[in-house]
Chains A and B, each alone.
Chain A
Amino acid sequence: MRVRLTLALVDRPGVLLKALEQIALNGGNIISIIHNRDRITSGYVPVSVNVEFPDPASLERAKKGIEGSGIPVIEAETLEKEIATMILVGKADVDALIRKVEEHGSKISALHLTGGVESPCLKLLVEAPHDKLRPLLSSLEKLAEEWDALLITEG
């Protein structure tokens, strides 16, 4: 997952290195670094670091590590959407399913039904921002439970 981290750095040599160490320690691959020197405020330089993290947990650990080094993380913006495959086994209300996905700022990009009325099986491709995917999956799990259906997700 690609993320833009905006950090407030004290304008002193070595401070950025501390933050980059935390990113690397948590599996982050740094794509680019932009110093916004024209936006220095109260001695702090906003720095945008574009990073590819293996998963949301790595991002969270890196954020904690950076803040633990005394560097405030102003923003962590997800730059890409994630595409997740899921299979719903059992009878489902497709309208309710679509509404729930949209409520989470996500969309269904493909939907495929097999098994007919007797043994319905819905395969969905869902596009969701990284930070929305986990809460979306949790909501869909609850819906599936209400329908006595089985939701099978990646993982």
Chain B
Amino acid sequence: MIRCVILGYGFLGRRLAKELALNRVEGVKLVGIASSKGHIYREKGFKSSELPEDITRASDFREGSSLELVDGRLADLLVELTPTNIRDGEPGLSHIRRALEEGMDVVTANKGPMALAYEELTGLAEERGVMLLYEATVGGGMPLISLQKRCLMADELLEIRGILNGTTNYILSRMHFEGMTFDLALREAQMLGIAERDPSLDINGIDTALKIVILANSLMNARRKLSDVKVKGIRKVTSEAVAAAKESGMAIKLIGTASEEELSVAPRLIKLGDPLCIHGTLNAVNFKLRILGNLTIIGEGAGESTVSALLNDIREVARARSG
């Protein structure tokens, strides 16, 4: 039985804990949960009815560092779900680094560490002979990394292009269909909980840039950093610009691109019939392959759907370790 701990007990952590406590992945037992305040460790595992909404109120809650669940051979698998920090990747980076050093397998949805320290972390995992899976970092539940690594590995990936941020796509869609100004569409997105109170990472294109770095490094064997991406956000997009695009049969979309020549994030004009021209909070990614040609994947890029990617990665670890 693989003993699993979850670091980061926000929306994703709670949803995943419930799935694991319901034994959705055979051979994996949830034994620990940690938030920034402390943790709970139960060697026998959690039943779904025993999962606390707030872990600090559990009788066996212990204050202290999340790393206590990683040290001391208490678990075999770390699921790292702390919030993304683009400055230094912490605390996720230390969590993942320590777990790999301890010989644990790691599954994560945290973009920061994978975008800032991809080479170090994948190198460390390889050196220690453990698994580091991160499908959930990009495109929510859309299979992008596993799709390329499993089904397209013999072809040559020439370019990745896509809408990788649901918040900006929602704002641009509302501007396109309702003629709203940027400020109004943003305020609406915030009221609906689609945009964060501080939406700067999304609207300035940084969230998309992090995902483009992860995809380029992982699928195109690049060695790129966040600073290598030319980034332009959507803050300057006006309703006049959106209307002008619409008149020409196009929509303005925030597009992340990775090719051999460059990595970029910018608002682009996309023809209304283009498979990438999807609306609302949907994400869409196009792989351009030498033999296959173009392949487009569309799906929800955040929230609940991300749990699907996490469960798939956890199952992948369980399968590898059971054989």
- The residues of A with any CB-CB pair to B shorter than 8 Å are 25-27, 57, 61, 85-87, 89-90, 112, 114-115, 119, 121, 123, 149-150, 152-155
Knowing that A150-B232, A152-B241 are A-B contacts, what are 14 other residue pairs whose CB atoms are under 8 Å apart, sorted by A's residue number?
A57-B159, A57-B259, A87-B252, A114-B244, A121-B240, A123-B244, A150-B241, A152-B266, A152-B267, A152-B268, A153-B269, A155-B257, A155-B268, A155-B269
Q: Which residues of A lie under 8 Å from residue B291 when comparing CB positions?
A: 25
Residue of A nearest to B230 (CB): A141
- Mind listing 28 A-B residue pairs with CB under 8 Å? A25-B291, A27-B293, A61-B290, A85-B250, A85-B269, A86-B269, A87-B241, A87-B252, A89-B237, A89-B238, A89-B241, A90-B236, A114-B240, A114-B243, A114-B244, A115-B238, A121-B238, A121-B240, A121-B241, A150-B232, A150-B237, A152-B241, A152-B252, A152-B266, A153-B269, A154-B250, A154-B269, A155-B257
- With the chains together, A153 CA to B252 CA distance in Å? 9
Question: When A87-B269, A154-B269, A155-B269 are in contact, do A119 and B250 touch as well, CB less than 8 Å?
Answer: no
- With the chains together, A5 CA to B302 CA distance in Å? 47
Partner of A152, one of B158, B237, B247: B237
Q: Are A57 and B240 in contact (CB under 8 A)?
A: no
Q: At the interface, is chain A mostly helix, strand, loop or mixed?
A: strand
B219 at the interface (CB under 8 A from A): no
Q: Which residues of A lie under 8 Å from residue B241 when comparing CB positions?
A: 87, 89, 121, 150, 152
**Least Cβ distance of B203 to chain A in Å?**
13
B245 at the interface (CB under 8 A from A): yes
- With the chains together, A149 CA to B267 CA distance in Å? 13
Q: Are B236 and A154 in contact (CB under 8 A)?
A: no
**Least Cβ distance of B286 to chain A in Å?**
11
Q: Which residues of B lie under 8 Å from residue A112 when comparing CB positions?
A: 244
Q: Are B255 and A155 in contact (CB under 8 A)?
A: yes
**Least Cβ distance of A65 to chain B in Å?**
11
**Least Cβ distance of A56 to chain B in Å?**
11
- With the chains together, A152 CA to B232 CA distance in Å? 10
Q: Are A119 and B269 in contact (CB under 8 A)?
A: no
Question: When A121-B241, A152-B245 are in contact, do A89 and B269 touch as well, CB less than 8 Å?
Answer: no
- With the chains together, A121 CA to B247 CA distance in Å? 13
- With the chains together, A155 CA to B158 CA distance in Å? 15
Q: Are A57 and B268 in contact (CB under 8 A)?
A: no
Within 8 A of A (CB), among B275-323: 290-291, 293
Within 8 A of A (CB), among B220-248: 232, 236-238, 240-241, 243-245, 247-248
- With the chains together, A149 CA to B266 CA distance in Å? 13
Q: Which residues of B lie under 8 Å from residue A154 when comparing CB positions?
A: 250, 268-271
Q: Are B244 and A121 in contact (CB under 8 A)?
A: yes
Residue of B nearest to A121 (CB): B240
Q: Which residues of A lie under 8 Å from residue B252 when comparing CB positions?
A: 87, 152
**Least Cβ distance of A124 to chain B in Å?**
10
Q: Are A152 and B269 in contact (CB under 8 A)?
A: yes
Residue of A nearest to B249 (CB): A85
- With the chains together, A154 CA to B270 CA distance in Å? 6
Partner of B248, one of A27, A57, A85, A121: A85
